[in-house]
Amino acid sequence: MARIALVHEVAGIAAIQAQLLRKAGHEVDQVSLPVIGASWNWPMKGFAIPLRLVAYLPTAIGLRRSRYDIVHVHWLTHGLVGVLSRRPFFVQAHGSDLHLNLNNRMYRWVTDSVLRRAKTVFYVTPNLRAYMKDYDRKLMYLPNPVDMRGVAVQFAAPTQVKKVLIFTRLDPVKGVEKIFPAVERLSKSVEVTALDWGPLAREHVRRYGRLVKFVKPIPHDEVGGFLSNYDVVIGQMRQGILSLMEIESLAAGRPLITALERSLYSHDPPPVVAASDPDAIVAAVEKLAADPAELSRLSGEGRDWAFRTHSYAHHLRLLESAYFGTASSR
């Protein structure tokens, strides 16, 4: 079995990978990195890059000297530690480390340097591949793993539409400006709930508080039970893909309304209701409310799709295939 270093953590994904790989018999170390300047604003944020280079050196030297068979770094700019280690490494792109960082000259240079030197580049949502066309031969789609045991444990298909959840971070990148203009019409027939979370949260609570019930984010191990309280979920409306929150909604058997670029999922399209503006969202909710059979179909097929494409077992097979060229029998 292999000795593996998982460097940095993003949204708990590295911790899940460590758990899966250890159960498969591998020896896994999780390696933390200093994140100097992560919360700084520009132009000061740019000065953090040389500081990070210095801060990464002890970790890079440790990776170089250690007898790891696999070094897997999360987040592209943190891939600098792999470059500095002067050894083959895998790097995993998560989203903003591409579509935001490539818009900045300094971060674009860092990102390109990491992409050039990485052995394999994992990407977690299918839209990210378009940002890395120059590196097509080393790219591998690695969908985020979802703990189906926790999310789906409360599974029961909805039979009516009385409670609707806007399940996304209140952030411009999620297209929330295409969701909330629909809430006045929705609130006339259903109870609408949203998360009090994200850079636009304060503004939206002030503006829509009389129409929408805002709740604080819940611990991850309570997501399944939380989602089971709602009949329909509205997801992000900008990126055209399913993020972790949309996948968790499907795994919990919640019919999902979201903006989806179906060409990105041509091999196995998720069973969702596609919508990308307020009128389409309202129409989708009304249609589901009038069709209990469709509610039940979407609930069951969405859950099956989530298990098929994002289960822990599937994720482990993909990881071992990338690392070693074949998956462990476990």
Residue 150 corresponds to which tokens in the numbers above? 């926790």
Determine the pLDDT at residue 90: 98
Mean pLDDT of the chain: 92
For residues 223 and 230, the answer to whether their CB atoms sit within 8 Å is no
Please count the other Cβ atoms lying within 10 Å of the Cβ belonging to residue 175.
19
Determine the pLDDT at residue 44: 59
Q: Give me the domains of the chain, ranges plus CATH numbers.
A: 3-145+311-324 (3.40.50.2000), 148-310 (3.40.50.2000)
State the average pLDDT over residues 34-45. Answer: 63
**CA angle (158 as vertex; 155, 164 as ends), nearest 5:** 105
Euclidean distance between CA atoms 180 and 169, whole angstroms? 13
pLDDT at 38 over 70: no
Least confident of 19-33, 34-48, 125-139: 34-48
What is the side-by-side strand order in the sheet with 139-141? 27-31, 3-7, 70-74, 90-93, 120-123, 139-141
**Diameter of the chain by CA atoms?**
64
Condensed to tens digits (0 to 9), the pLDDT of residues 86-104 reads: 999 999 999 889 988 888 7
For residues 56 and 33, the answer to whether their CB atoms sit within 8 Å is yes
Euclidean distance between CA atoms 173 and 234, whole angstroms? 15
Euclidean distance between CA atoms 50 and 77, whole angstroms? 12
Determine the pLDDT at residue 11: 85
DSSP secondary structure letter of residue 262: G
Euclidean distance between CA atoms 160 and 290, whole angstroms? 8
Euclidean distance between CA atoms 330 and 316, whole angstroms? 9
Is residue 1 very low, low, confident or very high in pLDDT (cuts 50, 70, 90)?
confident
Determine the pLDDT at residue 155: 67
Place of tokens 């097929």: 301
End-to-end CA separation in angstroms for the chain: 12
Condensed to tens digits (0 to 9), the pLDDT of residues 256-310 reads: 999 999 999 998 999 999 999 999 999 999 999 999 999 999 999 999 999 999 9
pLDDT at 329 over 60: no
263 Cα distance to chain centroid: 19
Least confident of 52-66, 138-152, 250-264: 138-152
89 Cα distance to chain centroid: 22
Q: Could you tell me which residue, 147 or 273, shows the higher pLDDT? A: 273
Condensed to tens digits (0 to 9), the pLDDT of residues 60-78 reads: 999 999 999 999 999 999 9
Coil/strand/helix, residue 106 = helix
pLDDT at 330 over 50: no
Contacts for 135 with CB less than 8 Å, ≥ 6 apart: 115, 116, 121
Condensed to tens digits (0 to 9), the pLDDT of residues 166-216 reads: 999 999 989 999 999 999 999 999 999 999 999 999 999 999 999 999 999
Coil/strand/helix, residue 132 = helix
Determine the pLDDT at residue 327: 52
